[in-house]
Amino acid sequence: MRIERLVLRGFRNYAETEVRFAPETNVISGENAQGKTNLLEAVYLLSGGKSFRTRFDRELIGFEKDSAELEAEIFAQERQQSLRILMRRGQAKQVWKNRVRQKSGELSEALKAVLFSPDDLNLIREGPAARRRLMDLAICQLRPGYAALLSDYRRVYENKTRLLRDYRNDPHLEDTFDAFSDTMARLSAKLIRYRASFARRLGEAASPIHREFTAGGGEERLEVRYRTVSTVTDCTASEQTIYGKILEHQRAHRQAEIASGSCLTGAHKDDLEIDINARPARSFASQGQTRTAALSIKLAEREIFLQETGEYPILLLDDVLSELDTRRQEFVLNRIGGGQTLITCCEDEQIAGRTGGRVLFIRNGALAEKPDGEENNHVSASGKQRAGS
């Protein structure tokens, strides 16, 4: 699948810009704060209605603008399709696929993207939130109902946390407390089943990639395991069984929840345990080892999308290559064939030449001519004549 053309209007620092992408590698080059990540964010937004940087649509609308709009022509499921997103201040965003209104989560049925940023290189060392986020962003695109489930869970979690704070002064809130706990257990059971299945597939895909990556110099064994509420010993059990197990944990921790004023049972504490050669990577792996393992996991994510849909998702590499040594850069670049890739890098980096891809220069939220004044082929910015047209 690929994005062929994108028009951004009032989106972040893009007033009105049209971009045409090459089917394989596109290098998005420019100085700091010109709009490179914003462009990747726009493509990511089209792949499931979610940003990887914010939960709030209002932040995506250009300063001093009332609305933001993205229009894309894509090639996916062996046909041309069109996607459109309209965000207006104070309103829920509106989404169209092939000119028919859709729910925003449904966008991922047409377009899927995997993002890889320098933060992901710290995936293993960071706290569990980073690993939950990895799972959640991917599953949101793979399973259309997941995003809604996640936001329902977040809402009830926030409500219960607030209630726990007030509870000590107002014990009448007990019934509400129990109702929230029950909803959290039900939603957790659903989330756990999705996440456990994703984590299993992630481990299966990451392990051979990591073996290949480390072959030659002390081949390493990478394992990924899903960790959730301790009473849930079988994540493949039915939703009802998992729900029962969560209730068990909740009952055992009821007093502790009240005493600590925080939610102690549920999917919000999930994590991925990552081992290298049978030892927890988070505690024992070197910095280089954890980076390599993170790379294997992110590349595995792309393979899962391929298995699911028969097409590679769009791969968005935000500044990640400049963070890697040459050997790791080569490994990534050799592995990204077969699909479309958008790579951001700073103007002075040599990456553009090494990828052999099309280079798009971004300056101040618009496509710019090449720095040496040469025509910037294949691209056009609003108000400028398109090269070759």
> Which residues have a Cβ under 8 Å from the Cβ of 64 and sit 6 or more positions away?
none
Note the Cα 255 to chain centre separation in Å: 36
Site for Mg ion in 134-153 (CB under 5 A): none
Q: How far is the CB of 320 from ligand ATP (least distance, A)?
A: 12
When CB distances are held under 5 to 8 angstroms depending on the partner's kind, the choice from Mg ion, ligand ATP, none that residue 13 binds is ligand ATP
Site for Mg ion in 165-224 (CB under 5 A): none
Asked if residue 289 lies in contact with residue 220, where contact means CB atoms within 8 angstroms, the answer is: yes
Nearer to ligand ATP, 87 or 276 (CB): 87
Q: How far is the CB of 335 from ligand ATP (least distance, A)?
A: 24
When CB distances are held under 5 to 8 angstroms depending on the partner's kind, the choice from Mg ion, ligand ATP, none that residue 12 binds is ligand ATP
Nearer to Mg ion, 113 or 156 (CB): 113
Q: How far is the CB of 255 from Mg ion (least distance, A)?
A: 47
Nearer to Mg ion, 36 or 328 (CB): 36
Q: How far is the CB of 56 from ligand ATP (least distance, A)?
A: 10
Nearer to ligand ATP, 12 or 201 (CB): 12
Q: How far is the CB of 30 from ligand ATP (least distance, A)?
A: 6
Number of residues lying near Mg ion (CB under 5 A): 2
Q: How far is the CB of 38 from Mg ion (least distance, A)?
A: 8
Q: Kindly provide the residue ranges of all beta strands, DSSP E only, lying in the chain, ordered along the sequence.
A: 2-11, 14-20, 25-29, 67-76, 79-88, 94-97, 100-102, 113-116, 222-227, 271-276, 279-280, 314-318, 341-345, 358-363, 366-368, 380-381
Question: CB neighbours (10 Å) of residue 321?
Answer: 22
Q: For the chain, what is the total number of helices (H) and then of strands (E)?
A: 10, 16
Check residue 38 for interaction with Mg ion (CB under 5 A): no
Helix, strand, coil content of the chain in percent (nearest 5): 45, 25, 30
Stretch that binds Mg ion, among 37-45, 160-168, 179-187, 309-317 (CB under 5 A): 37-45
Note the Cα 208 to chain centre separation in Å: 22
When CB distances are held under 5 to 8 angstroms depending on the partner's kind, the choice from Mg ion, ligand ATP, none that residue 34 binds is ligand ATP
Question: By three-state DSSP, how is residue 309 classified?
Answer: helix
**Residues at the interface with ligand ATP (CB under 6 A):** 12-13, 30, 32-38, 59, 61-63, 346
Of 387, 373, 315, which is closest to residue 19 (Cα–Cα)?
Answer: 387
Two tokens, residue 53: 């940087």
When CB distances are held under 5 to 8 angstroms depending on the partner's kind, the choice from ligand ATP, Mg ion, none that residue 62 binds is ligand ATP
DSSP state of 4: E
Q: How far is the CB of 332 from ligand ATP (least distance, A)?
A: 19
Which of 25, 34, 37, 265 is the binder for Mg ion (CB under 5 A)? 37
Residue 86's alpha-carbon distances to 141, 234, 298, in angstroms, are: 19, 43, 30
Asked if residue 34 lies in contact with residue 363, where contact means CB atoms within 8 angstroms, the answer is: yes
Nearer to ligand ATP, 159 or 382 (CB): 382
Q: How far is the CB of 19 from ligand ATP (least distance, A)?
A: 13
Stretch that binds Mg ion, among 31-39, 108-116, 160-168, 376-384 (CB under 5 A): 31-39
Q: How far is the CB of 323 from Mg ion (least distance, A)?
A: 12
Nearer to Mg ion, 13 or 104 (CB): 13
When CB distances are held under 5 to 8 angstroms depending on the partner's kind, the choice from ligand ATP, Mg ion, none that residue 33 binds is ligand ATP
Burial class (CB in 10 A: 0-12, 13-18, 19+), 373: exposed
Burial class (CB in 10 A: 0-12, 13-18, 19+), 66: exposed
DSSP state of 315: E
When CB distances are held under 5 to 8 angstroms depending on the partner's kind, the choice from ligand ATP, Mg ion, none that residue 368 binds is none
Nearer to ligand ATP, 207 or 355 (CB): 355
Of 340, 289, 344, 350, which is closest to residue 319 (Cα–Cα)?
Answer: 344
Two tokens, residue 143: 């399973």
Site of interaction with Mg ion (CB under 5 A)? 36-37
